[in-house]
Amino acid sequence: MEPNPPAPQSPVVPDLRRPLLAAYSGHVIWGFSFLFTKLAMEQTQPDVLLSLRFLVSFLLESLPVVAGREKVSLKGKHWNPLLLLAVMEPLYFYFESYGILYTNSTFAGVVLAVVPVVSILLAAVFLKEFPTRRQALFCLLPIAGVILITAAGSSMGVIQPLGVFFLACTCLASAAYRTANRKSSEEFTPFERTYFVLLSCAVVFTLAALRTVRWQIHTLLEPLTRPAFLAPMLILSLFCSIAANLLVNYAAGKMPVAKLSVCGTITTVCSAFAGVVFLREPLTPLALAGAVLIIAGVRKVTRS
């Protein structure tokens, strides 16, 4: 008598509770970063803000390395995804800062809700994660929403076409960053990815800022003497650069790009809330309709 065949084992479903909590927490922090970026740029230029923000972030991130509590190693690993990550992050913040400068934090946050759609498209090309026809159709809703919000903001004089262009570039850079982050997570820890991203941003933006202030170091450091600049800059450095990056980089190694993109939609809600409530930025019915189209479209596109 032949022995009974072994019962088929059910596939192991990974526990995504911690990665989801980390992803949502990081994106909530990023949602409020638009508010603090807007406040800090009332005191100085975007290049100077970015330089000081990432210099402080990198120095703080280096403390565990110097103390021997964290290790950073490139030996025997493929550098290409990490290099792409290090290039995309400075581009993202450059475009984001100038996009906010020529629009407002509410509009910037809503437009960046399109990032999950772009992320899914790039994931299909580079990671072979293909969207369904339904997802492709609903990609049109966020585009229509951006058009409505642009029309509403332009009529009030708070949104300039140059700002829309910078925010569109921000969407593309953010989507490319997420794709590269997912790929580099195969060999690099969340701390290593965060460390090299902060190093890249510190170098790029400090060189740009020194050129802006004509290589006068005292001029570069002068905003640090103003409490109105120092407070939002420290919040951006500690929470938005270090804490949020560590949280999202951890989540990126545990879930696909599409799932991580779903968490990004909460950034839009937080940025719009902060802009309207704390900065008293206008929110017209037309802009609200555009925001609803964007969020509805992204929700449909990124649903499993």
Exposed e or buried b for every residue in 98-109, given b needs 16+ CB within 10 A?
bbbbbbbbbbbb
Per the domain annotation, does 10 fall within a domain?
Answer: no
Per the domain annotation, does 173 fall within a domain?
Answer: yes
The residue range of the domain holding 185 is 29-65+74-302
Per the domain annotation, does 259 fall within a domain?
Answer: yes
Per the domain annotation, does 7 fall within a domain?
Answer: no
User: What is the predicted pLDDT for the residue at 191?
Assistant: 93
User: What is the predicted pLDDT for the residue at 81?
Assistant: 85
Closest by Cα among 54, 46, 97 to 196: 54
pTM greater than the 0.75 cutoff: no
Per the domain annotation, does 93 fall within a domain?
Answer: yes
Residue the block writes with tokens 């509403």: 152
> d(Cα 178, Cα 184) in Å, to the nearest integer?
10
User: What is the predicted pLDDT for the residue at 228?
Assistant: 93
User: What is the predicted pLDDT for the residue at 155?
Assistant: 53
Residues of the chain with pLDDT under 50: 1, 10, 12, 304
User: What is the predicted pLDDT for the residue at 216?
Assistant: 93
User: What is the predicted pLDDT for the residue at 52?
Assistant: 95
Per the domain annotation, does 22 fall within a domain?
Answer: no
User: What is the predicted pLDDT for the residue at 113?
Assistant: 64
User: What is the predicted pLDDT for the residue at 1?
Assistant: 47
Per the domain annotation, does 106 fall within a domain?
Answer: yes
Per the domain annotation, does 283 fall within a domain?
Answer: yes
> Do 107 and 159 form a contact (C-beta atoms < 8 A)?
yes
As for how many domains the chain has, the answer is 1
